[in-house]
Amino acid sequence: MKLVIAGAGGRMGRALIEMALASGELKLAAALEAPGNPVIGKDAGELVGRPCGVKIASSFADGVAKGDCLIDFTRPEGTLAHLEQCLRKGVRMVIGTTGFSAEQDERIAAAAGKIAIVKAPNMSAGVNVAFRLVETAARTLGEAYDVEILEAHHRHKVDAPSGTALKFGEVISRALGRDLARTAVYGRKGEVGERDPKAIGFHSVRGGDIAGEHTVMFIGEGERMEITVRSGSRATYALGALRAARFLESKERGLYDMQDVLGLR
């Protein structure tokens, strides 16, 4: 399978290049970056100490056309630009970008009527297993337990809470029959009053080089249950994205997530 990696010069882009080159059965067909990025023109493999002969390009249309699947962990605007090129060329997509608006999510869903897409806020196998665990916990523990979600990421992450934390909130609110838009609380300050028993709290930490940590707390009377996933490096996300690309190889169209990829549905 021939891969195109967007955002090649970024932290996730480099991890994806490294994992793709080491995979043996996947081919790096193209690596893309935004115009003006200093890595344009460099050998993509040299970024990770494995020269491969693929030059990083800024021509999205030409680059996309070289692959069977484009993997994108960039920003919403960039991802949507790549989506348009993938639609024109009939190229599948793996989308790990977060921070989309509702309207942007709708554009991706509409595109999935023509091409196959895996879109997930977190590609880690462990995190996706945790989604199932928190769903079971929420259904079993019910209204007697308060829910708080903590997440921590590196200092360069620009959105908060993380897409993964929000996904945990969506899974839990659905299991409990709540409207997350009404019950979500994003941090607390001052005299906020007694806790709303239906609230789902979100708390974000940013600092250093934390790859990603998420803890979901179910807090009851005399008992606290915690489900935690800590990622030590971006390799876990890259490996999940490559697994998602392989999953799409047999798909012509449709919108999937990592629950589909991992067979957790």
Q: What residues are annotated to the active site?
A: 153, 157
Distance separating alpha carbons of residues 186 and 200, to the nearest angstrom = 9
User: CB of 49 within 8 A of CB of 72?
Assistant: no
User: CB of 109 within 8 A of CB of 255?
Assistant: yes
Which residues on neighbouring strands pair with residue 202, listed in sequence order? 149, 186
DSSP the chain: -EEEEESTTSHHHHHHHHHHHHHSS-EEEEEE--TT-TTTTSBGGGGGT---SPBEES-HHHHHTT-SEEEE-S-HHHHHHHHHHHHHHT-EEEE------HHHHHHHHHHTTTSEEEE-S---HHHHHHHHHHHHHHHHHGGGSEEEEEEEE-TT--SSS-HHHHHHHHHHHHHHT--HHHHEEE---S---SPPTT-EEEEEEE-TT--EEEEEEEEETTEEEEEEEEESSTHHHHHHHHHHHHHHTT-SSEEE-HHHHTT--
Distance separating alpha carbons of residues 16 and 106, to the nearest angstrom = 27
